[in-house]
Amino acid sequence: MLKIGLIGYGTVGRGVYERLEVSKASISAVLGEECHVEAILIKNEQKHRLLEKECLVTVDWAEFQQAGPFDLIFEAIGGLEPALTYTLAYLEKGIPVITANKKLVAEHGAKLEEVAESNQTYYGYEAAVAGGIPIINVLKGLLPTTGISRVSGILNGTTNYMLTEMIENHRSFAEVLIEAQELGYAEADPTDDVGGFDAWYKIRILSRLCFGQWPNTELFHCQGLTALEDWHAEVGERIGLKLKLIGEAHSINGHVHGSVAPAFLTKTEALASVSGVTNGVSLEGKDIKQLLFIGPGAGKEATANSMVEDFLFHRRYQGNRLSANVESIEEIPFRYSLVFIKQAERDTALQWVKEQFIQVNETYSHPEGEAWLVPSVYEVNAQFPSYHVYGEITSSYAEESSSAQLGTF
């Protein structure tokens, strides 16, 4: 009998408990032994006062520990503390921990993996990235020697839902943010989502799996949607581009660089079709060309499913992509950027391009201002919102741009 401890009984914790209960027979068939949740550590006793389970339910950390010894811990509370203290306590005892806590993994994953390895156990975090998409264990177990030069993705369902609604249904940023909160996609404080931090944690975790080391955060830029204005999305839509919040990391001559930022995608880009709350992850390399994974990025059932499958994966196969077969990208994946100039800023912007010898390839007009297509090699002044354009800009876009300048938005 495998004895399980569950830390946290919010949306994810409850999902894990339910998934374990309904899958008991299947888990027993896979592992050859049954599992049982021995204890649940909760934070709010009042909130769970009617919780009746065939196990210990407690707010007391010491009492929870005494309910062991456990064979496995599911950590489902989120945040850095006390999650870090709880996780270290069990890894140091050689007890495996499975988590969906992307912030903890991104900020302290190197230390936690080191502690797990030194105590001959494992730290599983499949559910920390892209919800129901099994990307972490694909990298660990199925592609351990596959060379990867670039990983990119739409890693935050909240912002992808918002951008999809803005583009496809012509709605304002403020309106779709309120709706996302009402639907439960965004928190009351949406900073982690809208500020890009949620995706920033996730691309750092993916980078570690793809390139064999935890990244230098100074080389991973984070830009959310805070500078986005409704007309930016309107211009992109008119010329056939999709606005997405993209997390990406690539290797150049042994150095790994990454970013999270809104970007425009041409129709030929694989991630351009990923809409709504769905997530997508793209892996690129010489041998695999491009692999695309699409699925639910969050939700109780999808996240709980990933945590339980992570547990089963590690029980059957303990793999670690510690020293990855890293490839350098052949060229930067974007050649152009769109720079947005308000009407009142046009004279300043014209002086800027003149002083910096910046070539403006195309101009797209809008009542609010203009969007200038410039080569991405140029450093864009921070006072002008700018977005990289992923994919090849062909003559068809130039033709569409001519129409766009004549039309009205």
Q: Which residues in 363-394 are b (16+ Cβ under 10 Å) and which e?
A: ebbbebbbbbbbebebebeeebbbbbbbbebe
Assess whether 202 carries a catalytic annotation. yes
DSSP codes, 146-215: --BSEEEEE--HHHHHHHHHHHHS---HHHHHHHHHHTTSS-SS-HHHHTSHHHHHHHHHHHHHHHSS--
| Length of the chain measured in residues | 409
Q: Please say whether the beta carbons of 165 and 284 come within 8 A.
A: no
Of 202, 244, 289, 354, the catalytic one is 202
- Residue 233: name the closest of 385, 396, 375, 393 by CA: 385
CB 319 within 8 A of CB 335: no
Q: Six-digit token pair at 10? A: 């919010």
Which residues are identified as catalytic? 202
